[in-house]
């Protein structure tokens, strides 16, 4: 019974993907024209950027003042989510859309269908030649069940024993961390606990890691709130943290706060916590810049599917305009991460990333450069919040330097990874360096 139960749980915890399809009929007005050749041409036309643009406009996704590059990237994103194909040997076209939300998949499929019909009408009117007529065969309906995950397939795997092996790997490969105590939830050595982040089920982020031990990049990405849109206990746990840090819109042109995140050791979930705080703030309407200043083990760019270079190091050491290295929504849509998580997250256009850049020979020297100070000053004047991912506190001074330059530092601790003495030493090092330690975040 264990394997089927595991398959059922894994199915429930995977992010669903829905497919909605709209079908239209195309009748050639020229009886001598080959239906096959006509349909091949119309498949390309229905999947064109112009039809995608029209569909976005029909759905109200395009604002009058939206930059052309943003509109173009949005059209490309829509194209990447849709497939246009001929239905067998018939005179029908099927427009299918994949999306994390059933209603949005259907809405987009229908918008693409109506946009194609309108484009054909406009084309016929402009040239005065009606090569074909297009009709709605049947519109897309919101699917009741997702295309993925497939419960029957997962149960089959469970019956075959594969999921039993997966569950066994979970139980032996990574033991559960000790529970967070009441004392942990109140304070650490006089430092307030800003938030306790609930532990995600291992199965939910390792559903395809049958032969690999330890979390990989895909598993880590599924821990970002991009894959857990609110309302969810995981995404909502970051809202108190944002509130506890007093991250609100800056009044009257006051410089934005710069908050640094660090930890006593690696493996605490520091970068993931910082990214999720930044994403949560962006979703609340704040313009956020995330700076990856962990030069020794940069990870934020991997989480977000972006290249490491160029970035912060290139701007600081090369005395270049750092703004040209900042990545935003158009870049994310073309990154390694799937398009759907970005499109289903409202306000995500407010999030911006400055990756770490090329590996420096002396990371501490980069952080001591006057050009880094100027960069921070400019960033605070342009954004509502600056989140800095620093290196862990340890034998190097990186985290202490970043802490001195930030308005406040957040210590991240994962239960069972760092003992209380290590955390106490890290906090004391930061305090001795005259950093303002705001508090502790506990990862469950």
Contacts 24+ apart (CB under 8 A), 65-70: 69/330, 70/329, 70/330
Supply the pTM of this predicted model. 0.58
Number of structural domains the chain divides into: 2
| Per-residue pLDDT at 9 | 46
CATH number (domain holding residue 86): 3.30.70.1130
Choosing from 120, 138, 156, the residue where a domain stops is 138
Residues 95 and 244 occupy one common structural domain = no
Instruction: Provide the domain limits for residue 82.
Output: 17-138
- The stretches of 47-194 forming alpha helices (DSSP H) are 49-58, 68-81, 102-127, 151-160, 162-173, 182-186
| Per-residue pLDDT at 403 | 93
| Per-residue pLDDT at 12 | 44
| Per-residue pLDDT at 378 | 93
* Intervals of the chain under pLDDT 70: 1-15, 28-34, 123-133, 148-190, 200-215, 229-233, 243-254, 338-346, 416, 444
Residues 193 and 118 occupy one common structural domain = no
**Is 277 in contact with 243 (CB distance < 8 Å)?**
no
Residues 273 and 352 occupy one common structural domain = yes
In a domain, 203, yes or no: no
Q: How far is CA 318 from the centre of its chain?
A: 29
In a domain, 161, yes or no: no
Residues 189 and 81 occupy one common structural domain = no
**Is 134 in contact with 119 (CB distance < 8 Å)?**
no
| Per-residue pLDDT at 187 | 53
Residues 184 and 290 occupy one common structural domain = yes
Choosing from 109, 138, 167, the residue where a domain stops is 138
| Per-residue pLDDT at 387 | 94
| Per-residue pLDDT at 125 | 57
| Per-residue pLDDT at 255 | 75
Choosing from 107, 138, 169, the residue where a domain stops is 138
pLDDT digits (tens, 9 = 90+) for 199-241: 766 444 444 433 343 457 777 777 887 777 666 667 777 777 7
pLDDT digits (tens, 9 = 90+) for 384-442: 889 999 999 977 889 999 999 999 999 998 876 777 788 888 888 999 999 999 888 88
Residues 88 and 182 occupy one common structural domain = no
Structure tokens at 94: 């099927």
| Per-residue pLDDT at 202 | 44
Residues 27 and 134 occupy one common structural domain = yes
């Amino acid at each position: 019974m264990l394997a089927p139960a595991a398959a059922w749980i894994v199915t429930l915890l995977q992010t669903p993907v829905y497919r909605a399809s709209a079908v239209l009929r195309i009748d050639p007005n020229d009886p001598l024209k080959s239906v096959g050749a006509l349909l091949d041409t119309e498949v390309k036309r229905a999947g064109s950027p112009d039809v995608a643009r029209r569909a976005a406009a029909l759905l109200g996704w395009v604002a009058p003042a939206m930059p052309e590059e943003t509109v173009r990237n949005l059209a490309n994103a829509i194209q990447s989510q849709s497939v246009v194909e001929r239905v067998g040997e018939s005179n029908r076209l099927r427009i299918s859309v994949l999306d994390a939300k059933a209603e949005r998949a259907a809405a987009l499929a229908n918008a693409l269908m109506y946009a194609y019909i309108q484009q054909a009408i406009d084309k016929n009117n402009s040239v005065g030649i009606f090569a074909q007529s297009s009709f709605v065969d049947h519109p897309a309906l919101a699917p009741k069940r997702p295309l993925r995950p497939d419960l029957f397939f997962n149960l089959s795997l469970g019956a075959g024993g594969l999921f039993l092996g997966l569950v066994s790997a979970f139980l032996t490969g990574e033991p559960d961390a000790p529970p967070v105590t009441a004392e942990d939830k109140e304070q650490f050595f006089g430092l307030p606990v800003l938030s306790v982040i609930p532990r995600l089920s291992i199965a939910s982020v390792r559903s395809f890691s049958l032969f690999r031990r330890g979390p990989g990049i895909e598993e880590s990405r599924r821990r970002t709130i991009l894959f857990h849109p609110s309302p969810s206990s995981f995404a909502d746990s970051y809202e108190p943290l944002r509130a506890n840090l007093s991250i609100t819109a800056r009044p009257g042109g006051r410089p934005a706060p710069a908050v640094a995140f660090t930890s006593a050791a690696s493996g605490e979930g520091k970068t993931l916590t910082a990214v999720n705080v930044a994403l949560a703030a962006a979703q609340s309407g704040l313009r956020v810049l995330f700076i990856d200043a962990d030069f020794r083990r940069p990870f934020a760019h991997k989480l977000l599917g972006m290249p490491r270079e160029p970035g912060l190091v290139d701007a600081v050491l090369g005395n270049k305009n750092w703004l040209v290295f900042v990545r935003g929504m158009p870049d994310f849509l073309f990154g390694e991460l799937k398009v759907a998580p970005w499109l289903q997250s409202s306000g995500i256009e407010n999030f911006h990333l400055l990756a770490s850049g090329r590996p420096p020979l002396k990371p501490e020297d980069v952080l001591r450069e006057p050009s880094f100070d100027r960069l921070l000053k400019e960033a605070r004047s342009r954004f509502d919040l600056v989140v800095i991912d620093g290196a862990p506190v340890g034998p190097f001074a990186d985290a202490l330097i970043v802490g001195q330059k930030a308005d406040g530092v957040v210590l991240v601790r994962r239960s069972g990874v760092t003992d209380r003495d290590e955390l106490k030493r890290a906090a004391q090092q930061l305090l001795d360096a005259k950093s303002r330690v705001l508090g502790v975040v506990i990862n469950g």
